Amino acid sequence: MALMQFGSIKENVITCDEFPLSRAKEILKDETIAIIGYGVQGPAQAMNLKDNGFNVIVGQRQQSPSWSEAIKNGWVPNKNLFSIEAACERATFICYLLSDAAQIECWPIVKKYLTAGKTLCFSHGFAVTYHEKTHVVPPADIDVVLIAPKGSGRNVRKLFLQGKGINSGYGVYQDYSGKALDKALALGIGIGSGYLFETTFNLEVYSDLVGERGALMGALAGIISAQYQVLRQHGHSPSEAFNETVEELTESLMPLISENGMDWMFGNCSTTAQRGALDWMPRFKEAVLPLFESLYENVANGKEAEIVIAANSQKDYRERLQSELESMRQEEIWQVGEKVRKLRLDYEDMND
């Protein structure tokens, strides 16, 4: 474990230098790791662990699309692909990767197989943090840990195949064996984490929910929609409004931020862009800061969790979700985006 300096703050971080894959495999050599759920995170974590040489099986509801997807990915029924019940029974280390709603629904089933000495791992702190609402309360005689990749399952797998690693948070909720931390870190290295930073179940879910509703998705989508609308109202064409709002952001500027940071991106734009961005940045921050304070309060006091649980417990929640996403898809900005992406891809194909 190493202390990393971020300005005046020091953090505990773990990399493969301090915790190599060989050590992770030694710690988990006698464990049967069950990935429960094959939706968002499940496929990537399961395949990365398998490719890294861990003893891993998958537990998924039979006759579901995800069951068929697992078979397509090479998992074999009754060999390393089982029902949720059978996988939990065989496992000593259970990674509970179902959606938050499904974790609530399946908890009575999974809990039966959490016998003394087993390890229960989450990739999201939601169910445990809001246990008064979810009723997910782990038994006292098991280890309970957290490995939370900071990216979608697609990126967890994509970066792994590129020889890179996703950054992940790690935490220990319950240390029954006295070895919970080592198990958590071993699992984090096993799924291909680039580096691991210390957190807690509470802090992970608070930051995650704020991020999803804020800069990562909700605020981003709202700002994009607002700018596009203003440009269109002032006579700009759909192509011009979309390219100036979305295409340049995603294809040009975001990669520059990823490479070397916001200041580097600013430094590689025109002086006119730099001056305007520096002048308007504090105005946007001042405008949205109260929204983020309100958002964090709603996350910390459980109101956002109540909304999620209520919505996702409805029998028709998937149909309603698809309806909302379809409405977004039909908005002019994203219809324009579909055509712009096709033109870009056609040009790339022409030059292959």
Instruction: Collect all residues with Cβ–Cβ distance below 8 Å to 311 and sequence separation of at least 6.
Output: 317, 320
Among candidate residues 124, 131, 135, 234, the one labeled active-site is 124
Strand, helix or coil for residue 288: helix
The arrangement of strands across the sheet holding 166-174 comes to: 2-6, 9-15, 193-198, 166-174, 143-149, 119-122, 93-96, 33-36, 56-59, 81-82
Residues 151 and 167: their CA atoms lie apart, in Å, by 8
Instruction: Report residue 266 CA to chain centroid gap.
Output: 28
Instruction: Examine the residue annotation and report whether 124 is marked as an active-site residue of this protein.
Output: yes
- What distances in angstroms separate CA 254 from CA 67, 90, 259, 260, one per listed residue? 35, 44, 9, 10
Instruction: Collect all residues with Cβ–Cβ distance below 8 Å to 117 and sequence separation of at least 6.
Output: 92, 141, 142, 176, 177
The token pair at 318 is 């998937």
Residue type for position 303: K
Instruction: Collect all residues with Cβ–Cβ distance below 8 Å to 153 and sequence separation of at least 6.
Output: 39, 40, 41, 42, 43, 44, 45
Cβ-contact 145, 187 below 8 angstroms = yes
The token pair at 173 is 């909720």
End-to-end CA distance of the chain: 46
Q: Which residues are catalytic?
A: 124
